[in-house]
Structure 1
Amino acid sequence: MFRFKRHGKGKPSQHKQLKKLEDEHQQAKENLSKQLRVNEEKLQEVFKNCSDVVFRYVKGQDGALFLVVYMDGMISSQLLDEHILKGLMRNPHPSEVEDSKVWSDQLNISVGQSKTLSTFEQIPKEIVRANAIVLTEGHDSALALDIKGWDKRALEEPSGESVIRGPREGFSETFRVNTTLIRRRLKTPRLKIEMMNLGELSQTDIGIVYVDGLINPSVLTEVKKRVERIKIDGILESGYVEAFIEDAPFSPFPTVQHTERPDTVVSALLEGKAAVIVDGTPFVLVVPFTFFGGLQASEDAYERFMYGTAIRWVRYLLFTIALFLPSVYVAIISYHPEMVPFNLLLSFAAAREPSPFPTIIETLMMEIIFESLREAGIRLPKLVGPAVSIVGALVLGEAAVQAGLVTAPVVIVVAGTGIASFAVPGYSLGLAYRLLRFPMLILGGVFGLFGVMVGALALLLHLVSLRSFGVPYLAPMAPLVGTGMKDVLWRAPVWMQRVRPKLIVGRTSYHMPKGQKPGPKK
């Protein structure tokens, strides 16, 4: 006979485990004991088998006994020795007072930040956040001292966003270093940084940065709501947060920008956008994010406007080449040879004569080889990677042509496509082009130019339908906003860009007053 399990009731052992967890949680919320030994035993139980947690007793004057608990490697040893331990040794026992929270005011300790803790639940959280805890006999409260002091990486120029003209600083993995880099560029109390913690186990610091009065309140509310609803055990990088807050997770196009450059973040904040800083990573998230924003580099604003405009149009051309060149080539050679000049067609026919594969197969093979070399060059050590990718491309391309597996025009097309894809400033947006190149290639190889047109139309419809925190992805071109076109079709001089992006700010807002066009004095 079949026996069905009863639902709604767990096993007795499970009930005991749940009861034990509830008791431990309730015990953690209890107030601290006035007996120092009791508090120590509870902390020893919480940090059992944690060899980096140090329990250190210090004797002060007239036999005063203090317990200092900290995590080795995450605090400054110099601050601990000179400002805490020596200060406690010179202190008498804090006198009994009615309000036990003010006993810390009697201590001879000088640190930047401190706060009083009254419940046991607060103490482990402060210890893992690199704070030192001071407890004493006869008082049911503790003192948390901020003496963080782990090793930090020196500030360097971001390798993925290098510029010829512009700041050479990049974000680091330390949260406060990143906020300082932004504060140095925006010295105003209107710059707000709202803190929260994500990750049940990691307790990662998250900061939402914006300029009060510039950001659209609806955008700010949406950013906070999406970040606060994240429930996960650990946040290791800003990519975790991006995956939870992006608008279209199944779209190849990113709706959240990530950057390592402080000047890029500050420029976005001045346009009314918001930034999300995640502790432990140099990549800061910026929202809302638009398509044309991904084709712009921070260097465009630092050069003269005519150079910026020319480079921007070259970038648009290279973007088109990176996306459509292989598919258009395959479509023309396979279905529309009459579109090619006769002499060039003869050259293509002569080159294709020894090849045993159709044009689409040749192009797919070379695209896969090129992407493999690019990925191998990234993963290999810096001293070896560029040499392997360059030599590998030369050797494999030449060998493939000599062996008759592919034709020389295909190698030229794939190489030109790869070079064009490197011109896209945003790495995540460049990944979208690399991914979409393959379905466009298949459409061109199967249906000819008709397939390329259908793919381009489907791509355009998809872009028009995208939103990033309520802002149209193709703004300010669709919908058309005349004032915003000064930073899309051409790079207007700085003194002409008076108006902030209206679709992002939500209203008309100005960078500067009129009448600042430079010229000789009359």
Structure 2
Amino acid sequence: MEENKKKIMGTLEENVAYMNEVLPVKESFDLVQRDIVIGGKKSSFFFIDGFTKDDTMLKIMTSFFSVTEEKMPDSATEFSRLLVPYVEVDTLSEFDGIIKNLLSGTTCLFVDGYEACIVIDCRTYPARGVDEPYNDKSLRGPRDGFVETIVFNTALMRRRIRDPHLIMKMTEIGESSRTDVAICYMDDRVDQELLKNLNSRLEKIHVDALRMTQQTLAEELFKRKWFNPFPKFKFTERPDTAASCLLEGKVVILVDNSPSAMILPTSILDMIEEANDYYFPTITNVYLKVSRALITIATVFVTPLFLLFMQNLEWLPEVFAFVAIKDTVNIPLIFQLLILELAIDGLRLAAMNTPSMLSTPLSVIAGIVMGEFSVRSGWFNSEVMLYMAFVAVANYTQPNFELGYALKFMRLLLLVLTAMFNWIGFLIGCVIVIVSIVCNKTLSGRSYLRISKN
């Protein structure tokens, strides 16, 4: 992009020739050049079809046609100030900024004799409604959610926080994609050291494109070790959650084309929170948090503990003797548990790719055929099916998808170590789980278990 650093020329022919040389105006149907005469001077519009508000451009061009030669200013700055009947107008003198703005959707106007380009931001992006997120619902509270357009998302948060200390700094990342990224924070509450660290990391990112939007950005921000699956960032599709985090002194990152916000720094306690915790009385709030935390812990340890006691039946208290397997064990318990872990993920993937009208029949088939008949056929024991069903349902009590799979990997590790080394393996697995959580550092460098000061 170095050749685009040159400044625009004074003649319209040279500017138009350069724009046609850099951009495939004649090959791309959506890159439009519109030549008109304004006040006796030749002029050319460059814009992208589909990004421009037709009604607004019609009114602007109508006003231009009424300009006489006597009213034409001597400079682009005066032209934008006196003759452009629109709010968002700027003048640029370098082709780098002009082409970047044009490809972002703005309309660029070249006028013969002006050594600057008039940039009119009358763009509009295709966007869906700000409906409630499908995977981040609440029983109470607002029903709006983030969308794929970054300007709409910043407006949703600005509507909730009418404070002059709220700063939304826009930058772009990606040599080819030039994706807009907004860093949002409360200037009087944010950890300045964290903000400085974040800005430093963003400046060092050199990628061709943010292909997977926020996920690519997260991987570039924090090169985490592959063997520690616990997530470094919290994501939310709810503007009220993001606004609350801003007021707590955290940083929210928005990426264009992504309907979710990245929140940092975060801890494992933040991961298991959800919006419902804050829309109920305090005692209900505490109960929901405690119950979710206990269920989250249970999803990791229920099946490994069951396997451990089945391998050491003499440890099982008499009062809990009913949990022992009564039927014949045709397949070793460890293989039953591992097969069911894989089967649950298979059913989840099948449900994601099944048309909504067929989801109910699929659930019936999975519940009856794969549940009842797999036990009758002797593949699985009913007790194993019961505990794995609890694990499958309990995974949905916490909203973070990445944390759910991190806990699943810890559970699989515990199962394998317990099957191989009995109680010693179970203890080793517990130590690995604890170390993985304690040693997991966030972007700010603080512990994953640290509670926010706010």
Partner AA of 1:30 in structure 2? K
Q: Could you say if the C-alpha distance between residues 136 and 418 of structure 1 is closer, same or farther in structure 2, counting changes exceeding 3 Å?
A: same
TM-score (norm 1): 0.82
- The aligned runs of 1:169-184 (5 Å cut-off) are 169-184=144-159
Q: Could you say if the C-alpha distance between residues 108 and 319 of structure 1 is closer, same or farther in structure 2, counting changes exceeding 3 Å?
A: same
1:372 to 325, 335, 346: 346
Match of 1:412 in 2: 386
Match of 2:16 in 1: 40
**Aligned-residue offset at 1:342:** 5.4
Match of 1:486 in 2: none
Partner AA of 1:453 in structure 2? L
Match of 1:280 in 2: 257
Match of 2:220 in 1: 244
Partner AA of 1:466 in structure 2? N
2:67 to 72, 77, 91: 91
Match of 2:115 in 1: 140
Match of 1:112 in 2: 87
Match of 2:52 in 1: 75
Partner AA of 2:233 in structure 1? V
Match of 2:373 in 1: 399
Identity of aligned residues (%): 25
Given that 1:328 and 1:449 are in contact with CA atoms closer than 8 Å, whether structure 2 keeps it comes out as no
Match of 1:52 in 2: 30
**Aligned-residue offset at 1:76:** 0.9
Summarize deviations over 1:149-181 as a string: whole Å, max 9, x none. 132110111111111112211111111111111
Given that 1:186 and 1:266 are in contact with CA atoms closer than 8 Å, whether structure 2 keeps it comes out as yes
Given that 1:373 and 1:393 are in contact with CA atoms closer than 8 Å, whether structure 2 keeps it comes out as no
**Aligned-residue offset at 1:345:** 4.9
Give the Cα–Cα distance (whole angstroms) in 2 for the partners of residues 409 and 140 of structure 1. Answer: 79
Alignment partner of 1:127: what SS?
A: helix
Match of 1:423 in 2: 397
Summarize deviations over 1:12-46 as a string: whole Å, max 9, x none. xxxxxxxxxxxx844x3332222212221211122
Given that 2:174 and 2:208 are in contact with CA atoms closer than 8 Å, whether structure 1 keeps it comes out as yes
Given that 2:80 and 2:90 are in contact with CA atoms closer than 8 Å, whether structure 1 keeps it comes out as no
Summarize deviations over 1:332-351 as a string: whole Å, max 9, x none. 112x1123355965784431
Match of 1:449 in 2: 423
Give the Cα–Cα distance (whole angstroms) in 2 for the partners of residues 54 and 303 of structure 1. Answer: 54
1:203 to 163, 173, 178: 178
Alignment partner of 1:163: what SS?
A: coil
Match of 1:29 in 2: 5
- The aligned runs of 1:289-300 (5 Å cut-off) are 289-300=266-277
Q: Say if 2:411 is the partner of 1:437.
A: yes
Given that 1:331 and 1:447 are in contact with CA atoms closer than 8 Å, whether structure 2 keeps it comes out as no
Q: Say if 2:448 is the partner of 1:470.
A: no
Partner AA of 2:292 in structure 1? R
1:126 to 89, 101, 105: 101
Give the Cα–Cα distance (whole angstroms) in 1 for the partners of residues 299 and 72 of structure 2. Answer: 75
Summarize deviations over 1:409-468 as a string: whole Å, max 9, x none. 110011011111111122221121122221111112222233222211221122222221
Give the Cα–Cα distance (whole angstroms) in 1 for the partners of residues 322 and 295 of structure 2. Answer: 27
2:126 to 151, 158, 180: 151
Using the TM superposition, name which of 179-188 and 221-230 deviates more. Answer: 221-230
Using the TM superposition, name which of 404-413 and 306-315 deviates more. Answer: 306-315
Given that 2:268 and 2:448 are in contact with CA atoms closer than 8 Å, whether structure 1 keeps it comes out as yes
- The aligned runs of 1:242-321 (5 Å cut-off) are 242-246=218-222, 248-250=224-226, 251-321=228-298
Given that 1:258 and 1:283 are in contact with CA atoms closer than 8 Å, whether structure 2 keeps it comes out as yes
Q: Could you say if the C-alpha distance between residues 155 and 133 of structure 1 is closer, same or farther in structure 2, counting changes exceeding 3 Å?
A: same
Summarize deviations over 1:101-126 as a string: whole Å, max 9, x none. 43424652212211111123332111
Give the Cα–Cα distance (whole angstroms) in 2 for the partners of residues 147 and 446 of structure 1. Answer: 66
Max Rg structure: 1
Give the Cα–Cα distance (whole angstroms) in 2 for the partners of residues 254 and 260 of structure 1. Answer: 17
Q: Could you say if the C-alpha distance between residues 343 and 150 of structure 1 is closer, same or farther in structure 2, counting changes exceeding 3 Å?
A: closer
TM-score (norm 2): 0.93
- The aligned runs of 1:187-198 (5 Å cut-off) are 187-198=162-173
Alignment partner of 1:126: what SS?
A: helix
Given that 2:33 and 2:47 are in contact with CA atoms closer than 8 Å, whether structure 1 keeps it comes out as yes
Given that 1:258 and 1:284 are in contact with CA atoms closer than 8 Å, whether structure 2 keeps it comes out as yes
Match of 1:513 in 2: none
Q: Say if 2:437 is the partner of 1:459.
A: no
**Aligned-residue offset at 1:51:** 1.8
Match of 1:12 in 2: none
Given that 2:80 and 2:91 are in contact with CA atoms closer than 8 Å, whether structure 1 keeps it comes out as no
Give the Cα–Cα distance (whole angstroms) in 2 for the partners of residues 122 and 226 of structure 1. Answer: 24
Q: Could you say if the C-alpha distance between residues 269 and 343 of structure 1 is closer, same or farther in structure 2, counting changes exceeding 3 Å?
A: closer
Summarize deviations over 1:67-108 as a string: whole Å, max 9, x none. 11101011111111112x1122112346474xx343424652
Given that 1:376 and 1:385 are in contact with CA atoms closer than 8 Å, whether structure 2 keeps it comes out as no
Aligned length: 448
Given that 1:379 and 1:385 are in contact with CA atoms closer than 8 Å, whether structure 2 keeps it comes out as no
- Structure 2 portions without partners, runs of 5+: none
Match of 2:192 in 1: 217
Alignment partner of 1:125: what SS?
A: helix
Partner AA of 1:309 in structure 2? V
Summarize deviations over 1:480-505 as a string: whole Å, max 9, x none. xxxxxxxxxxxxxxxxxxxxx33xx6
- The aligned runs of 1:318-397 (5 Å cut-off) are 318-334=295-311, 336-340=312-316, 345=321, 348-351=324-327, 353=328, 355-385=329-359, 387-397=361-371
- Structure 1 portions without partners, runs of 5+: 1-23, 477-500, 506-522
Partner AA of 1:301 in structure 2? Y
Given that 1:155 and 1:170 are in contact with CA atoms closer than 8 Å, whether structure 2 keeps it comes out as yes
